[in-house]
């Protein structure tokens, strides 16, 4: 389901326990001390940086502030004198430091310890008594607060609640109150999330890192048990299930059994982690979907005003694809997007969540919908008690974080503004290679033919005119079949974006029903699948009586997870795969996902389109994306007459009627109550009880990473880059899927070679995503996307590069290994939006393990840039109006980047000169965007901190 934040919907996260209030928000009075733990988390931010370590850094809120704190207390990390000796010689200082540490951040701290104790206010119950106490924003009597966006008020409340004059200072609170003036200055603020949400693809490497950090603590002679998540972590296993079996009533059971066979070691490791680490809850496989974003420069906020009403038949997916295109064009990287306006009244919470969940695709830190009556209705629908909902409304109203559209709205200030009349939204899809390349449905046929004509690029396949009408005939299990350019071979109702939204899920089922009644049938060679985001979906599809029609069209439920959207599409039938490969067919996938980057969905589908679940069914029935739904029939009915799109498309009223009658509170309640109980296969997993993990050197899933080998208490200083070779030279929009693919492992890749050498059969390769706990596999999978376009290869597409000293064409991993063996640094050249797409820790870890020291790009996606910094890779931006091509850089040069010798001399946004060996020189901006950023080592800093605290008692 969806996660609400302390004052609204913060990206759409599907989790079982949608919370009420965290104790940090409202200190409960004795009369409310019996409130269940399910109402303990209203503030739920999802960390998406380097897995779990964003939680560690966010909980000590300013990355690098600890280091500045040490200096403040007379400790010098860079001194040649041992740190332990400095500690022993600074007894008085340490005692003060230790006392300060002992009083901060504890649950149950006395309000008197907070600098804003004077505004701690009682929250009365309507019938007498009180819910508890809270820090009242109105009690500050500051008129600037009334002009703040709601999303900034959340940051303000958090800062006030955590203000201890150590981690969070009054000056930080003032920065946030004065947001209108401070946000353009890129000032740094602390933010302490109350919970971190992870899925297993990011969760496994995070737990691997935590286990390795415990080992490092142990080797440093410190208490390894001190390594734990600093804030509660909910880890949902939802990315492992693959669509091995489709079009079968037995698909869920069979796919789950295969999921456990492949991933038993990973699952056992996660179960061990849930027992070994405090503050960690693991939701077993087969439960549903969760998703996530977060860091903290005080962000600008884009105000997105919605007006009007969606036309009949237009879906929430059509709206979100329109919004995504608008926001990408506007430019919202590093910003919040806050939605408001009278158009909000016509959008359900699920519709809003669909929009919020696409925030990585439009590039924002988050998409935010403040709480209003629609949110409260949803809480009631999903089984929250009247008392909980009453408390939420009372608190938000009292703290000016509730929107009541029936009342006059006070003007709020935004950094910039966008507006959309919902009546202007048209049915659409996006693709064939990026989520923000929206195509109105009525223009799809013309756009498809343009893509066939255009040169290879985001909107082109460069198919010669004479080859565009090619027909590949083949036998499908004894039945004659054929494929053309644009033929749909995968149709998947999948992913977090849509599959918990009742209107589009039931809409898809109604399309299937109408098609069945008219006699239409999806061709058997189209791989169809349905992967709901929650068990609730199954309940309301069954109650509506519509699941049987989806089954008749091949959309049987295959599992509860991300499946096709994360690349777990499973194999195509051999005959289909051969027809595509042998005839160089540009085959298509249509999915209700949120990402369609090249090489992600399936290696054999070069065209991948995002669409609403009803449109997925429609395109599956048509069998091609080369169709004009307004003019051409989808097929022929049982009466011999042509059936058109309008004949199978349900009205908004039809959908609403089914939603109203079939989506019931008890469905949510029963699903949530059972969700952490697991299943027999999960419950039978036997795991060790040790606090330190016993690494198996022969494992190809879980491997001890090298990050902490030879680690000392004193961190290394900044390093200049000397005579580095260019490993890769990219253009624009290189995504994290290009850098660190999540999907299938190609049979000829370095990762495949590594697995084969260790006795792993190709059928057991699983995916890159499933092997993120093994650095050996992931280093070999870095830049392994089969659709990678590297300018050094002069037009050739694939995961290779040129080894500059010899001119050899090698896999990227092999070239990087050779550079490292010869003692050479490497850099990457890139265009705009480097690192866009889903946040991915391995997109930073992988290049670091390959020896990449710097990335020079036109611009970065915020989260990926931050991850690079955390892994010690220097992000540099070309000056405006410049890029590698304009500067005449080919990638065959050697690059020297001189950084200041002292960390203290590195400033956010400072200019650095880059010099090449052929005499070129140009200036770049160092993208350390916070004072802590240049000092942060995302994995090693927590160990040094924890080890320091252990040594205080020596």
HEC string of 621-640?
HHCECCCCCCCCCCEECCCC
- Give the 3-state secondary structure of residue 643: strand
Residue 949: per-residue pLDDT: 44
CB neighbour list of residue 507: distance below 8 Å, 6 or more residues apart? 315, 612, 613, 614, 650, 655
CB 192 within 8 A of CB 63: no
Angstrom CA distances, 685 to 75, 284, 544, stand at 46, 11, 36
The whole-number pLDDT of residue 715 equals 62
Q: What is the pLDDT of residue 573?
A: 95
Cis previous bond, 432, omega within 30: yes
- The pLDDT, as a whole number, for residue 24 is 41
Tell me if 565 sits within 8 A of 529, measured CB to CB: no
Q: Strands 826-829, 721-729: parallel, antiparallel or unpaired by DSSP? A: parallel
In this prediction, residue 677 carries a pLDDT of 73
Distances, alpha carbon 766 to alpha carbons 355, 371, 574, in Å = 31, 41, 18
Q: What pLDDT does 906 receive?
A: 77
Question: How far apart are alpha carbons 879 and 728 in whole angstroms?
Answer: 20
Low-confidence ranges of the chain (pLDDT < 50): 1-24, 28-112, 291, 293-295, 934-936, 948-954
Judge whether 638 and 617 are in contact, CB under 8 Å.
no
Distance CA 805, CA 810 (A): 12
Q: Is the distance from CB of 867 to CB of 843 less than 8 angstroms?
A: yes
Task: Give the separation between CA 102 and CA 592, rounded to whole angstroms.
Answer: 49
Q: Phi first, then psi: give them for residue 54, nearest 5 degrees.
A: -65, -35
Q: Residue 451: phi, psi to the nearest 5?
A: -65, -40
The answer to whether the CB of 839 falls within 8 A of the CB of 48 is yes
Burial of 922 (0-12, 13-18, 19+ CB in 10 A): middle
- Sign of the Cα torsion 663, 667, 672, 675 reads negative
Q: In angstroms, how far is CA 54 from the centroid of its own chain?
A: 13
C-alpha closest to that of 830 among 797, 790, 800:
790
Distance, CA of 408 to chain centre:
36
CA atoms within 13 A on the CB side of 719: 15
pLDDT for position 928: 83
pLDDT at 219: 84
> Which residues are 530's β-sheet partners?
493, 557
Residue whose C-alpha is closest to residue 362's, from 836, 939, 868: 836
> What's the Cα-to-Cα distance from 874 to each of 851, 899, 924, rounded to whole Å?
12, 10, 11
CA distances from residue 82 to 218, 224, 494, 712 in whole angstroms, order as listed: 19, 21, 55, 10
Structural contact between residues 120 and 367, judged by C-beta atoms closer than 8 angstroms: no
For residue range 764-814, list pLDDT tens digits in order. 998 888 899 999 999 999 999 988 999 999 989 999 999 999 999 999 999
Alpha-carbon gap, residue 180 to 147, rounded angstroms: 9
CB–CB of 422/310 below 8 Å? yes
C-alpha separations of 677 from 672, 684, 715 in Å: 10, 12, 43
- Where do the H-state alpha helices sit in 144-199? 150-161, 170-177, 179-182
Q: With H, G, I as helix, E, B as strand and everything else as coil, classify residue 130.
A: strand
**Closest C-alpha among 766, 768, 710 to residue 739:** 768
pLDDT for res 810:
97
Rounded CA separation 259/673 (Å): 24
b/e burial code for range 474-497 (CB count within 10 A of at least 16 → b) = bebeeeebebbbbbbbbbbbbbbb
Q: Please measure the distance between the N-terminal and C-terminal CA atoms of the chain and give it in whole angstroms.
A: 48
User: Which residues, 6 or more positions from 208, have their beta carbon under 8 angstroms from its beta carbon?
Assistant: 269, 702, 703, 704, 705, 773
């Amino acid at each position: 389901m969806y996660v609400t934040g302390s004052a609204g919907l913060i990206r759409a996260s599907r989790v079982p326990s949608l919370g009420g209030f965290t104790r940090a928000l409202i200190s409960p009075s004795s009369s409310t001390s019996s409130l269940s733990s399910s109402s303990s988390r209203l503030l739920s931010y999802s960390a998406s940086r380097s897995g779990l370590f964003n939680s560690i850094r966010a909980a000590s809120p300013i990355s690098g502030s600890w280091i500045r704190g040490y200096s403040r207390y007379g400790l010098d990390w860079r001194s040649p004198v041992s740190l332990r000796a400095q500690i022993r010689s600074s007894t008085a200082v340490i005692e003060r430091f230790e006392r300060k540490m002992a009083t901060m951040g504890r649950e149950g701290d006395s309000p008197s310890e907070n600098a804003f104790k004077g505004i701690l206010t009682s929250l009365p119950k309507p019938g007498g008594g009180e819910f508890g106490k809270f820090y009242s924003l109105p009690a500050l009597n500051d008129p600037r607060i009334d002009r703040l966006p709601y999303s900034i008020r959340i940051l303000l409340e958090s800062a006030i609640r955590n203000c201890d004059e150590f981690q969070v200072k009054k000056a930080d609170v003032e920065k946030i109150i004065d947001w209108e003036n401070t946000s353009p200055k890129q000032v740094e603020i602390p933010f302490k999330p109350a919970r971190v949400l992870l899925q297993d693809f990011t969760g496994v490497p995070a737990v691997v890192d935590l286990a390795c950090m415990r080992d490092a603590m142990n080797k440093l002679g410190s208490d390894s048990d001190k390594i734990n998540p600093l804030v509660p972590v909910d880890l949902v296993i939802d990315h492992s299930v693959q669509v091995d079996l489709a079009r079968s009533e037995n698909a869920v059971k069979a796919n789950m059994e295969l999921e456990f066979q492949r991933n038993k070691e990973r699952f056992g490791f996660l179960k061990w982690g849930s027992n070994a680490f405090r503050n960690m809850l693991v939701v077993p496989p087969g439960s549903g979907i969760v998703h996530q974003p977060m860091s903290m420069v005080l962000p600008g906020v884009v105000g997105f005003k919605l007006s009007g009403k969606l036309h009949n038949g237009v879906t929430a997916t059509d709206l979100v694809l329109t919004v995504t295109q608008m926001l990408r064009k506007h430019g919202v990287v590093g910003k919040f997007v806050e939605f408001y306006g009278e158009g909000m009244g016509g959008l359900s919470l699920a519709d809003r969540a669909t929009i919020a969940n696409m925030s990585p695709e439009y590039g924002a830190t988050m998409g935010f919908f403040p709480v209003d009556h629609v949110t409260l209705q949803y809480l009631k629908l999903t089984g929250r008690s009247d008392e909980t909902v009453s408390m939420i409304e009372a608190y938000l109203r009292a703290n000016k974080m509730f929107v009541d559209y029936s009342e006059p709205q006070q003007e709020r200030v935004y950094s910039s503004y966008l507006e959309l009349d919902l009546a202007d939204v048209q049915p659409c899809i996006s693709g064939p290679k990026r989520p923000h390349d929206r195509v109105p449905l009525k223009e799809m046929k013309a756009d498809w033919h343009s893509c066939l004509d255009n040169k290879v690029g985001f909107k082109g396949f460069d198919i010669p005119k004479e080859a565009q009408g090619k027909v590949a005939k083949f036998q499908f299990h004894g039945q004659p079949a054929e494929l053309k350019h644009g033929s749909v071979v995968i149709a998947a109702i999948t992913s977090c974006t849509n599959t918990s939204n009742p209107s589009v899920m039931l809409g898809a089922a109604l399309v299937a029903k109408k098609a069945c009644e008219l006699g239409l049938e999806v061709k058997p060679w189209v791989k169809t699948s349905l992967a709901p985001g929650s068990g609730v979906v199954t309940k309301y599809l069954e109650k509506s009586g519509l699941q049987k029609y989806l089954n008749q069209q091949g959309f049987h439920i295959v599992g509860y997870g991300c499946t096709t959207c994360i690349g777990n599409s499973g194999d195509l039938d051999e005959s289909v795969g051969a027809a595509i490969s042998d005839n160089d067919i540009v085959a298509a996938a249509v999915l209700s996902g949120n990402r369609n980057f090249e090489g992600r969905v399936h290696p054999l589908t070069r065209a991948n389109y995002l669409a609403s679940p009803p449109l997925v069914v429609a395109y599956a029935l048509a069998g091609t994306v080369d169709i004009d739904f307004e003019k051409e029939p989808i097929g022929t009915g049982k009466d011999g007459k042509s059936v058109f799109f309008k004949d199978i498309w349900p009205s908004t009223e039809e959908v609403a009627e089914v939603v109203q009658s079939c989506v019931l509170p008890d469905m949510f309640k029963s699903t949530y109550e059972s969700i952490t109980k697991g299943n027999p296969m999960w419950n039978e997993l036997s795991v060790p009880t040790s606090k330190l993990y016993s690494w198996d050197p022969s494992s190809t899933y879980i491997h001890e990473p090298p990050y902490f080998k030879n680690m000392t208490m004193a961190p290394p200083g900044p390093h200049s880059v000397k005579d580095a070779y260019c490993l890769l030279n990219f253009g624009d929009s290189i995504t994290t899927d290009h850098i660190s693919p999540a999907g299938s492992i190609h049979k000829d890749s370095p990762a495949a070679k590594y697995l084969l050498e260790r006795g792993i059969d190709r059928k057991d390769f699983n995916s890159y995503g499933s092997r993120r706990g093994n650095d050996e596999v992931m280093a070999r999978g870095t830049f392994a996307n089969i659709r990678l376009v590297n300018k050094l290869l002069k037009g050739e597409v694939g995961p290779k590069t040129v080894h500059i000293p010899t001119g050899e064409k090698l896999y990227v991993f092999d070239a990087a290994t050779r550079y490292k063996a010869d003692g050479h640094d490497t850099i990457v050249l890139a265009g705009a939006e480097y690192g866009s797409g889903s946040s991915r820790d391995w997109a930073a870890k992988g290049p670091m393990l390959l020896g990449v020291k710097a990335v020079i790009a036109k611009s970065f996606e915020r989260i990926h840039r931050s991850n690079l910094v955390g892994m010690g890779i220097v992000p540099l931006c070309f000056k405006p109006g410049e890029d590698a091509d304009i500067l005449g850089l080919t990638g065959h040069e050697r690059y020297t980047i001189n950084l200041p010798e002292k960390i203290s001399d590195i400033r956010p946004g400072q200019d650095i000169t880059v010099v090449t060996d052929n005499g070129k020189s140009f200036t770049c901006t160092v993208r350390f965007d916070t004072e802590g950023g240049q000092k942060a080592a995302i994995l090693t800093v927590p160990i040094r901190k924890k080890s320091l605290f252990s040594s205080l008692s020596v």
